[in-house]
Amino acid sequence: MSELVLNHLLGLQGIEPSKIYTILDTADEFLKVLDRPIPKVPPLRGITVANIFFEPSTRTKISFELAEKRLSADVVSFSKSGSSVSKGETLLDTVRNIEAMKIDVVVIRHHAQGAPLFLTERIKSAVINAGDGSHEHPTQALLDMMTIRGHTGGFEGLKVVVLGDIAHSRVARSNIHGLKAVGADVMVCGPSTLIPRDIEALGVKISTDVDEALDWCDVINVMRLQLERQNQGYIPSLREYQRTFGITKARLDRIGRKIVVLHPGPMNRGVEIDSNVADAPGSVILQQVTHGVAIRMAVLFLISGKERTDA
């Protein structure tokens, strides 16, 4: 039984499918807790969680904080601006100091790939990766999977397209690892400049034609286009990107059947996704945000259980 408990959550690469299902099933129950008259439960009483964000984030940080508070944890949050990091303190020193304050769980977002792993080797707290460089963003992928499962019923043989900037997207990478682990069929689609050459090794299909991808899939997960990419020569212009890869109502109408459209946010409306798709009745994009709180509650709950068991 205890092998299902997580020590840390660094990424979805190599994760056992049973762990994914445990997290998703637990999150389904926490989703119901969020609908209760008093949407707060006590299991993390006495546990202190530090949210350490070296990169800007609104939704992920608020989502983690809310999840922690809904589980009755004590929460300290820390952002790069206004902290000693701007005075030149190293990551390890910052985190050691935080650990000296007896923190049980560290939620970290960092621009460097592998920063969360680096921490697990050096501090005793449990570590949750809230996004490390272009490596992984496991809780985002898990909440995407929760939303997908809610709308399709399961993953086996399900056809999912991850669209957009695959090369720089940790969300794309975590989605691929997670979805492949539970038996979904994954295709990546985007401009060839933004699809890494080695991506085939992950067992995904590749397409550079979004209409072809739409014809094939049951679910499409639209990645955010980082706007600075157009100045780096990856795409000719945002306008051309929109014309070639943007998810528009016309494109969806053409395929003549319903597919699930996800977007991790924040959206560039009129670039990778049109407003009349994002705001359409039945759009699941805001549902993803709600699911994010439930997924993070599940991960925190499962990780804290392990921590306490060892104590």
Partner 1 sequence: MQERLKHSIIDAAGMKRTLTRMAVQILEENEGTENLVLIGIHTRGVPIANRLSKIISTLEKGKTVKQGILDISLYRDDYKTAAKMAEVRATEIDFDINNCNVVLVDDVLYTGRTARSAIHGIFDFGRPATIQLAVFIDRGHREMPIQGDFVGRSIKTSPGEEVRVRVKEIDGVDEVVLVEEYDDDERGEK
Site residues (CB under 8 A) for partner 1? Answer: 1-2, 4-5, 25-26, 29-30, 32-33, 36-38, 40-43, 46, 298, 301-302, 305-306, 308-309, 311
Q: For residues 45 and 254, which CB has a smaller minimum distance to partner 1 in the complex?
A: 45
- Residue 197 CA to residue 176 CA, distance in Å, equals 15
Q: How far is the CB of 46 from partner 1 (least distance, A)?
A: 7
When the beta carbons of 133 and 305 are compared against partner 1, the nearer one is: 305
Give 42 or 82: the residue with its C-beta nearer to partner 1.
42
Whole-angstrom Cα distance, residue 42 to residue 24?
A: 20
Q: Which is nearer to partner 1, 45 or 122 (CB)?
A: 45
Q: Which is nearer to partner 1, 103 or 160 (CB)?
A: 103
CB of 170 to partner 1, least distance (A): 28
Q: How far is the CB of 69 from partner 1 (least distance, A)?
A: 14
Residue 108 to residue 188: CA distance in whole angstroms: 27
Quickly list DSSP for the chain: -GGGS-S-B--STT--HHHHHHHHHHHHHHHHHTTSSS----TTTT-EEEEEESS--SHHHHHHHHHHHHTT-EEEEEESTTSGGGGT--HHHHHHHHHHT--SEEEEEESSTTHHHHHHTT-SSEEEEEEETTTB-HHHHHHHHHHHHHHHS--TT-EEEEES--TT-HHHHHHHHHHHHTT-EEEEES-GGGS-GGGGGGT-EEES-HHHHHHH-SEEEEPPPPGGGGGGTSSS-HHHHHHHH-B-HHHHHHH-S--EEE--S---BTTTB-HHHHTSTT--HHHHHHHHHHHHHHHHHHHHHHHHHH-
CB of 114 to partner 1, least distance (A): 28
Minimum Å gap between C-beta 27 and partner 1 is 9
Secondary structure (DSSP) of 137-178: -HHHHHHHHHHHHHHHS--TT-EEEEES--TT-HHHHHHHHH
Name the residue nearer to partner 1 (CB basis): 25 or 200: 25
Q: Least Å distance between CB 31 and partner 1?
A: 11
State the minimum distance, in angstroms, from the CB of residue 128 to partner 1.
17
Residue 192 or 309: the one with the smaller Cβ distance to partner 1 is 309
Please report how close the Cβ of residue 1 comes to partner 1 at its closest, in angstroms. Answer: 4
Report the alpha-carbon distance of residue 50 to residue 114 in Å, rounded: 18
Q: Measured from the CB atom, is 16 or 25 closer to partner 1?
A: 25
Whichever of 2 and 58 has its CB closer to partner 1, that residue is 2
Minimal distance, residue 302 CB to partner 1, in Å = 7
